[in-house]
Each structure stands twice: as C-alpha cells, then as structure tokens.
Structure 1
Amino acid sequence: MQSGPLLSLIVPFYNAANYFAQLLHSIEVQLTEAIQVVLICDGATDGSLELAQRHIGTSAIPQSYLLLSQQNSGVSVARNQGIKHATGEYIGFIDADDLLLPGYISQLLSVIQQHKPDLIELGYKGFKETFDLTHAKPRYLHRNAGWLLKNKAITEVYKASRWFPWLRVYRRKMAPDFQFPAGIAFCEDLMSMPSLYEAAQHIYHLRLPLYGYRVHSASASFNVKVQHQQQLQSFFNEVQLKNSYPALPELLRHILLLHLAHLLYKLQLNNKNQQSFPDQLAQQLKTLIYQFWWSPHFSVRKKLNLAFAPFFFRWERIKSG
C-alpha cells in the first residue's frame, strides 16, 4: 500500500500573481491524495505568497500542499529546495504562469502505477490566453506513444532541443542527486535535463497534450541579460571541452553543441545594442560548423547562419534599420 505521495509537483513562483491563481485552480480540480504540491515562494513581493496561502486554506485537500519560502535566489535554487522537500516517488515541475490541462494528474498516475518508468515525457500546448487552448496545436517530442527505444528517443530529444523541465516527470531513485545549476536563470534546463536522460533506462511517452505553456513577454526567454549570455557561453565551452557531460556520446555532443551555438547566435541578433558580431564567437561558430557540417540532425539553414554569422548579422541590422 502506498504510504506517501506517488508524485511530487515542484512549483516555484516569483511575482506571478497575474497568472498564479489560474494555475492553482488547474491543480486543485485534479488533485488527489496521491499528489504532493510543493510551492516555493522565491521572494515574491506582489502578493503571490498570500495568494498561495489563501488557496491552501480553501483547498479540499490542504494536506497535499507544502508551502516553502526563501529569499529571492532564482528559479534553480527554488526548484532544488522543492526537490529537497519532496516526498513523492516521482518528481515533476510546473511553472507558475502555466496551466495543467485536463487529465494531467490522472494520466500520469496511471502510467506510474501501471508501468513505473524511469522517465515519462508528455505533450503540451502553447498559448497566450486561455481561450487559445481550444485551437492550439498539440506538440510532442516523439511520434510514437508508450515505451520508447532509449537511444532513438534520446536522439530525438536532443534534435528537438526542448529541455523544458515541465515536459517530463522522473523517478526519484533513478537520479537521487539531480539538481539545477544554482545562480543560472537562463537555459538552466538545458544545463541539467540531459543528466536525466543519461540516467534513464526506461522511457515512456505519454502522447497527450497535458500541459499548457504560456508564452508572454515577461518570460525568461524574452529577457536575456548579458550575464546570462556569458553563462551560456561558458557552458558551451565546457561541453566542447568535455568537462560537462564527459560520458555523453559524440553524436549527442555534436547535436547539443550545434543547438547551443545557434542559441548564442540568436542572442547576438536579438541584442539591439550589439553593433557588430563578436569576432571570437564568429570564429568559434565557423570552426564548429566545419567540424560537424555533415551532421544530419541540424538544418542546412542554421548551419549557414553559423558559418557566416557576421554576414547574416549585418544583413539583419540593415533589414531592421
């Protein structure tokens, strides 16, 4: 007989009051005693903490919630606190401005109880407003549902380069020391999620759109600081030198490096204060493309962007000017 929760859902929040109530409601209407919801207030100053307290006070199962509070330390530290205090056999992650779609909890519990995989991947819908969800296109990591061949599945994940923490649920015993990199606020998922795939032996794809991912201008993807670019550049260098993920198969390392390189390129393009493409980065990208030009897992268009980054950078500046 299950003595504790089967699944702990880690929900960090910081100044999320505009959307947080919608998320909490989407959790509450699906909540069962097999679920633990770990809410971590990351120094919020907008009333989000009080909103969470009121929600728990009116919940039909208040004992399913654990509310933690910390000084503002970033999403990685908040998630790590959630993992530390979680008691579920499985752990999943939710962002405070998103939504659980119908069936999220029941479908995950069904897979956990019937199959007990190391890693469960699920589908999602992107949206701006809730009414968009009705017609939003479901998105998946794989074409096939159910059990996946590990090597094929992992290659597909690296190729898609979708490392959102909320896109998968993992078995705690598989990766008892899993953590997010402290002090990283951009691409912390890309720097940590691959380790779950290194550890996983049995991967199950729940091919249903169960998560609602809200796209808006306040999200981290639209607010990249110079410090974040520098952190990403450092991670790129560490992967290239094999200091990060030293056991990663070469094919997967190539794919990861190509995606990191293209992200670094896009960040330069998106920085309107940047007047010219950095010479050192341009040479680094060109060398990488010459080395991996024949990789079948990366588009020719993106390879050309990287090989001739200064030219495309100037072209974009002329076009936007």
Structure 2
Amino acid sequence: MTDKISVIVPVYNAAAYLSDCLESIVHQTCANLEILLIDDGSRDNSADICREWCRKDTRIRLIQKENGGVSSARNLGLEEAAGEFVTFVDADDWIGEEMLDKLVTRIKEDKSDLAVCGFREVHDGDRKQLSRYRKAASGSGDYQVLTAKEYAGNYLLSGNTRCWSILFDKRIIGSVRFQEGLTIGEDLLFLVDLLACLNRVSLVKSREYCYYRNEDGAMFSRFRPSYMDQITCWQSACGKLQQIYPEYVYKSRICLFQAALLTAGKLAMLSGQERKKLASYTQRCQQAAREAAADRKAWKGLSAGYKGKGILFLHAPSLYLFLYHRWKE
C-alpha cells in the first residue's frame, strides 16, 4: 500500500491523557496509518495503556526505551517509521478527525514537502467534550502555498516553531534528527535544519490540532537551568540561518533577544538570594540580549515594549530583575 502515514507519539508518564490522544488518531478519516508509541521510560502505567491499545488496533505498535527525553523518543520513531509521510503528536494532545487527510491531500496536490495546519489551545475541561472538539477542529479548507524562503521568513520566524501539527514528506527529513539533551527549542532546530531541503510548504488555515495547555509544563514552571535551552537554540538558529537565508538572520536575532528577556523574567521570579546564586545565568541572558541588540535591523524590529525593557536590562540587569519581581508580586 502507498501513502502510509507514520504517526509518532512520544510517551512519558502520560497515563492521564494517552487514551484521549489515541482515540483521536485511530478515528482519522485517513486510515492508512502506523501509530508508533515510543515509551520513553515511563514510571506510571502508560505502557499498560499502550499495550491495551495495541490489542485493540493492529496499526499501533509499542516501542520501549530508557528515558532520554522527547527528542530521543522522536528520533527513535523516525528510525522505525515505515510510512511515506511522518507526523508527530504529543501524548497529551489530540487531533481533528480530518487533520491527516487534509494535510496529505495538500502535500500531494500542491507538490509540497510538508503541510502544516492551525491549532487551538485546549484545557482540562475540554476533555469532557472530546468528541465535539475532534469534529469542531475541522473547519475551512482555505490554504496557502509558500516557497521555502517565504515559509522561513514569514512563518517559521514569526513564532511558528512547533513540529507538531505538521505532516512531513519523509524524503525531505532524510538523516535530519532532533538535537537530544534539549528541553526547550528542539522543534525549532529540527525545522531550521530542514530548510535547506525544502521547496514548497502548504499552510492549512483550519485549526485541526488541539494543543493541551499544561500548566505544569516547562513554559509555566519555576526557573531551572534547562530553561536556558531556548537561548542556546536561538543562538544556534542564527548561525544556521546565516548559511541558508542570511537576509532573515535579523529576525532570528529578534527572537533571541525576546528569549533572553523571557528567561530573565523567569530568574526575576526567584528570591533575591536565589538570584544571587544564579548570577551567571543572568549574565548569560544579558550577553545574549546584547549579541542580538548589536544587529541594528533586529533592534529596529523590536516592539517599543521590548526596547524599553531591553534598555534597562542591558544597562542595569539587577535593577531590572528587582523591578520585574516587584511588578509580578
């Protein structure tokens, strides 16, 4: 059979959400699927739930590994994937029942290398109406076809750095893999590494993917050293874009500046004593912001709000953190 889609689902301690996710995948109108559940060393009963689903649907396969993070789980999924197309779905999310059908249609008809759809944020209360949300996600058939350059400059570097809600022609992925050891920003680097292989990208405007806003996730937690990964990733992206689309490097530096201030904001929420112990992280945020601000085009592209905050942070970082802390209190 042709046109099989490999759906890669990294699973880590996802017992509370996994069945909702799989329910939405097995009921896709596009039925020629293989569903790869990559259990990344879960310590709850996620593996038991996976086995139960494997018994119910022969398209589902469980692959277990030692814990290594979401990037290592996705990479193993890519090694095992047998489909002509590949997509990633996080275990706490779910998808509209026509999502894969719409995306594969666009890739084939537009001769695109990947197709991406819109998403909606969902919360715990939405799980009670899961069937309604699966159908409601399907909407207008409006779409747009972009060149690789347009995709990079007008979409990817405008904040659309997620790898989920995308269907990839597996041929363009080739040997590209997610960088392991990162907890924030790994999606961005994967997509940037694909840019050199892309010719056309299809954008489906309807919101087919339901993204669960997990208040306990990394983006909403207290500062931890791994939060610096977003700075590392944007610095790396700046270097990679210099080789592919140098005219768009300033946009990546805008994102780097914003990432530096967002990370500094996390540091600001710690106590004064904690901030002193982590002064080296503040210094790194300041260095990254200074590096980005040195690009005059990037500085001009910042909003007035970011410029105002940035001037204070660049010249008086301790005062910035203190005032930010007081404001948030």
Structure 1 and Structure 2 fold alike (TM over 0.5): yes
What is aligned with 1:75?
Answer: 70
Shift in alpha-carbon separation, 1:149–1:164, aligned structure 2, 3 A: same
Residue from 248, 251, 256 that aligns with 1:252: 248
Q: Decide whether aligned partners of structure 1 residues 159 and 235 sit closer, same or farther in structure 2, where only a CA change above 3 A counts.
A: closer
Aligned counterparts of 1:100 and 1:163: Cα–Cα separation in 2: 18
Query: 1:158·1:256 contact (CA, 8 Å) conserved in 2?
Result: no
Q: 2 CA distance for matches of 1:226 and 1:206?
A: 36
Q: Does 1:151 align with 2:146?
A: no
- Please tell me whether the aligned partners of residues 239 and 257 of structure 1 are also in contact (alpha carbons under 8 angstroms): no
* Contact kept in structure 2, 1:4 and 1:87, CA below 8 Å: no
Q: Structure 2 matches for 1:270-289, cutoff 5 A?
A: 270-271=266-267, 272-273=269-270, 275=275, 278-279=282-283, 281-289=285-293
Matched, 1:165 2:163: yes
Q: Which letter does structure 1 place at the counterpart of 2:251?
A: I
Q: Which amino acid aligns with 1:40?
A: I
Flag the structure with higher helix content: 2
2:189 match: secondary structure: coil
Shift of 1:263: 1.5
Distance 2:231 2:201 in 1: 31
C-alpha offsets along residues 172-195 of structure 1, whole Å, 9 cap, x if unaligned?
Answer: 112201200011122211222112
Alignment match, 2:188: 190
- Relative to structure 1, the CA distance from residue 239 to residue 150 in structure 2 (aligned partners, 3 Å threshold; closer, same or farther) is closer
Maintained 8 Å contact 1:255/1:298: no
> Counterparts of 1:226-305 in structure 2 under 5 Å?
226-239=224-237, 242=239, 244-271=240-267, 272-273=269-270, 275=275, 278-279=282-283, 281-293=285-297, 297-305=301-309
Residue equivalent to 2:201: 203
Single out whichever of 44-53 and 190-199 deviates more from structure 2: 190-199
AA of the residue aligned to 1:42: D
Q: 1:224 to 1:252 in 2, by over 3 A?
A: farther
| 1:236–1:261 Cα contact (<8 Å) kept | no
- Name the residue aligned to 2:91: 96
Q: Using the TM superposition, give the Cα deviation of residue 33 of structure 1 relative to its aligned residue in structure 2, in angstroms.
A: 4.2
Structure 2 residue runs without a partner (length 5+): none
Pairing of 1:52-63 with structure 2 (within 5 A): 52-59=50-57, 62=58
Amino acid at match of 1:123: G
Q: Between 230-239 and 213-222, report the one with greater CA deviation.
A: 230-239
Cα contact 2:25–2:97 (8 A) shared by 1 = no
* Alignment check: 8 A CA contact 1:165 1:189 kept: yes
**What residue in structure 2 maps to residue 141 of structure 1?**
none
Over 3 Å counting, the alpha-carbon distance change for 1:216 and 1:112 in structure 2 is: same
TM-score by length of 2: 0.83
Q: Decide which of 206, 219, 223 is 1:221's aligned counterpart.
A: 219
The structure-2 alpha-carbon separation of the partners of 1:88 and 1:307, relative to structure 1 and needing over 3 Å to count, comes to farther
* Cα RMSD (Å): 3.0
Deviation, structure 1 residue 284? 4.2
Retained in 2: the 8 A contact 1:128–1:214? yes
Check conservation: 1:186, 1:224, Cα contact below 8 A: no
Report how many residues are paired: 312
Residues 268-318 of structure 1, C-alpha deviations (whole Å, 9 max, x = no match): 212322537734532542353242356665423223333322354332122
Secondary structure (helix, strand or coil) at the match of 1:209 reads strand
Contact 1:121 1:204 in 2 (8 A): yes
Q: Tell me the secondary structure at the aligned position of residue 173 of structure 1.
A: helix
- Offset, 1:210: 0.8
Deviation of 1:259 (Å): 0.9
1:320 lines up with 2:328 in the alignment: yes
Instruction: Check the 8 A contact 1:147/1:203 in 2, yes or no.
Output: yes
TM-superposed deviation, 1:132: 8.1
Match of 2:18 in 1: 20
Contact 1:159 1:298 in 2 (8 A): no
The runs of 5 or more residues in structure 1 that have no matched partner are 139-143
Q: Conserved in 1, the CA contact under 8 Å of 2:6 and 2:86?
A: yes
1:126 aligned onto 2:142: no
Q: SS where residue 156 of structure 2 aligns?
A: helix
C-alpha distance in 2 between matches for 1:126 and 1:21: 18
Letter in 1 for 2:94: L
Say whether the 8 Å CA contact 2:264–2:285 is kept in structure 1.
no
Q: TM-score, normalised by structure 1?
A: 0.85
Q: What amino acid does structure 2 have at the position aligned with 1:270?
A: K
Report Cα offsets for 1:187-223 as digits up to 9, x if no partner: 2112221122332101111221110000022223224
Offset of 1:239 from its aligned partner? 4.6
